[in-house]
A and B are shown apart, each in its own frame.
Chain A
């Protein structure tokens, strides 16, 4: 259920045109009679008063093939059969195997409206990667016990250690991924934090320091201590409710953070106490941690400095991630955050993104199973990330054994990221999301971005509640580890 602070408001794209899925072609047979402009209720065709000719079709407004059965469809109405409908070749340039054009488009609609798309031509429950989440399906029971959506809880507790520290509860089982100042713009960071506050959940600073603009949202910010220790200070550790150690990141496991020189602008350099224009590569690993004992020493250090804070440990998914998980529990961590090999990044070597460490789907199962066997599963919160694209991925990750997820890329898509992948270099993001360039970082307002994120979280929450309802469950906590509610299209019949 959504917190009372959440209000949904229609928040359209900041651009004039959307990316079209369909293409309407008008042939020479057109006599500019204007029938199409009169019949189409979506505004694809325009005939401006006083003009002789009908304007070129506005493709992105077309609802596609489902329109053909409608009485008002322009194709059938055209007296000269001058109009034809096809898939737009432009749509092929959007998205990829993991984030298909349909998932991106659907996410944009969610961020705009606050609800999953009403149109039926978008496949946004699975991507096209041919593995992992994309091969898992829910097995909904035919007659689930009736549960009213108002009875369904999506809150989860983050502290299960019973160690007297804060009992941090979040209202929806997801929070925002660590993106440093430098990798993304200040408006992006602040909007993420404002949304986290509205949704009573968290965002994370990443490893680039703690900008002052985030201070009003301290209670909903996780600050990261990563290997570069950029901007880590006693007061930043002391002002938050959760501190995260970043040992590794799914997109570049075994490598430190990358911030290329051009993105290290004046303000970024000041925050990181570095020299402007130099490429900043965090080391790998923490050179003070070569064992679980060293790791415990790190955690103790944070606990000493902030007696209320919970400690999250962010690791990647190597073969022995299960050992790392159990070790982290014994070292005193409250949250184990595993980031799978296909996770997002502002900049990472392509070889690392594709090849190093396993996808999150395996990592969750492995860690959940091992923690259970060790008898400590109930005393630690397991958070998964690295390829959570949709509310369905979220629910599947929980079925596989996670308590909740962290989303990174999905939040950026909500802000109209097109996943062009050019965040690493030059002035950074052409769309102003992942850029610290003074001109580009000014392409949207915090109000716009905060509302888009709030809408997007709401749309996911609605879908999660719907899934829980179909299972007849009253709490998302009942879903954890229920692999029996899933099937795999390669293995199950």
Chain B
């Protein structure tokens, strides 16, 4: 059995205030009695340091919404509301509570645990419209993170053979391909352009420490990224291969931007890469209208790894003018299904990205048919970046970010990935699945809202009136 893969996490605090949800205000009729300091167990209320006769302004960032100060203030002098910042940050996809959860996981590296049941909507678009299955009694089960069993989250990147062939003496005739081993089904996709040197270095360092990769445009490769060359996937156009040959020599994976010319000359381009380096080649393509067709053609022409990137909200980047854009869940299912029906799915590795915002999206993407996912914006949120969707996508970097040492930023990213890894184990443990590779395309081990709703309520209630007639 391989050594157990584990991401060590360590609480790493950044000295800045991030988003918080509640705001408490103290009215003028406060009589400074101090009742609130006694009832609040989170220490939101304190007396003023300089003048203990008065109450200090409430520290609402620590408020956990227990209502005790509100309900016990003898004068009813305290009021609470949703923090305006929290409301402003809420997007259609990237919700404020998601940003806060990502930030906290980057702080402590722990699986978010809370009391009381789920509080969100019943279902939603994309990944929110599916539940993962679990096992009990009639199926094998696993222990999850608290057990001793080994649950492997490893995946292999590269071309695989559909079958092996042997000669009549039993000798292997097939030529097997090199694959790249990843201990967790995640790579880092560059989350934004024009990142500062320390942020880039932290991403690369974190990728190296947890044994994964960072996709980075080749023109952003600076000498300070040199130490992490083994964990960087340079992203370039096929026309630029010669220009970056020095860096390519050190790379284990390289990514080429898709264009029509690349598809027409794929074997020539692969040969050219082989002449320079031993890296496996990823072709990166935007998820859009007809992406299934392009992926199919790439797969049939021998491309080993295909990275399909949706936009930052996990939607098709272009295409559909008549229908609403598809979401990542449906894109993955459609591409996967296409390759399955063409009997070539097992030969290629599919990476999907765009809108991978929570740990749950990783197993869900895999169940839909991805071999692995690429994560982007959460890596920046771990460093304190805020994301606004309105009026258009906009990132707010915390002031002083460029001063924060690389190891601290890297530690935050590692913490986040550690928490995600543990959550992946929890989901797999509950499903009774011991190898992440077996998640791929296991739609039978998920519950899709449209299907289950149709199967239960649709059957019961649809057209019943018509039948009664």
Tell me the A residues contacting B by CB distance below 8 Å.
13, 15-19, 55-56, 58-59, 89-90, 92-94, 96-99, 128-132, 134-135, 247-248, 250-251, 253-256, 258, 260, 281, 283-285, 289-292, 294-295, 315-316, 318-320, 323-324, 327-328, 341-359, 361-362, 365-366, 386-387, 409, 417-427, 429-431, 434, 440, 483-484, 486-488, 490-493
Q: Does B3 sit within 8 A of A, measured CB to CB?
A: no
The answer to whether B141 and A89 have CB atoms under 8 Å apart is no
Chain B positions 282-303 with a Cβ under 8 Å from a chain A Cβ = none
**Whole-angstrom distance between the alpha carbons of A486 and B457 in the complex?**
10
Given contact pairs A130-B122, A344-B117, A349-B426, A357 touches B134 in the complex (Cβ within 8 A): yes
Q: In whole angstroms, what is the CA distance A135 to B449 when docked? A: 14
Size bracket of the B interface: 35 or more
* CA A355 to CA B115, docked complex, whole Å: 16
Cα distance, A89 to B464, chains bound together (Å): 43
- B residues less than 8 Å from A134 (CB atoms): 122
Closest to B117 in A: A344
The contact of A93 among B22, B432, B447, B458, by CB within 8 Å, is: B22
Q: Cβ of B42: which chain A residues have Cβ within 8 Å of it?
A: 430
Q: Are B64 and A420 in contact (CB-based, < 8 A)? A: yes
* A265 CB to nearest B CB, Å: 15
A130 & B123 in contact (Cβ 8 Å cutoff): yes
Contact with A along B105-140 (1 / 0, CB 8 A): 000000111111111111100000001111111111
Chain B residues within an 8 Å CB radius of A251:
117-118
| B118-A342 in contact (CB<8A) | yes
Smallest Cβ-Cβ distance to B141: which chain A residue? A285
Taking the closest CB of chain B, its distance from the CB of A294, in whole angstroms, is 8
Q: A98-B118, A99-B119, A365-B460 given as contacts; is B136 within 8 A of A93 (CB)?
A: no
Residue numbers in A under 8 Å from B27 (CB-CB): 56
* B227 on the A face (CB < 8 A): no
B80 and A93 within 8 A (CB):
yes
For the complex, give the distance between the alpha carbons of A327 and B139 in Å.
12
B429 partner residues in chain A, CB cutoff 8 A? 254-255, 284
**Partner pick for B101 among A350, A361, A418, A492, CB 8 A cutoff:** A350
Q: Known A255-B426, A284-B143, A362-B456; judge A97-B70 contact (CB<8 A).
A: no
Q: Taking A283-B147, A356-B430, A421-B119 as given, write out 16 further A-B residue pairs in contact, using a Cβ cutoff of 8 Å, ordered by the A residue number.
A: A18-B71, A19-B70, A92-B82, A129-B121, A135-B457, A255-B429, A255-B430, A328-B137, A348-B113, A352-B426, A358-B447, A361-B457, A420-B66, A421-B114, A423-B116, A492-B461
Query: What are 12 A-to-B residue pairs whose CB atoms are below 8 Å?
Result: A93-B81, A98-B120, A134-B122, A254-B431, A285-B135, A327-B138, A357-B131, A358-B447, A362-B456, A365-B457, A491-B460, A491-B462
Q: Identify which of residues 125-178 in chain B touch chain A, using a CB-to-CB cut-off of 8 Å.
A: 131-144, 146-147
Contacts of A346 in B (CB 8 A): 115
**Shortest distance from the beta carbon of B427 to any chain A beta carbon, whole Å:** 7
**Is B423's CB within 8 Å of the partner chain A?**
yes
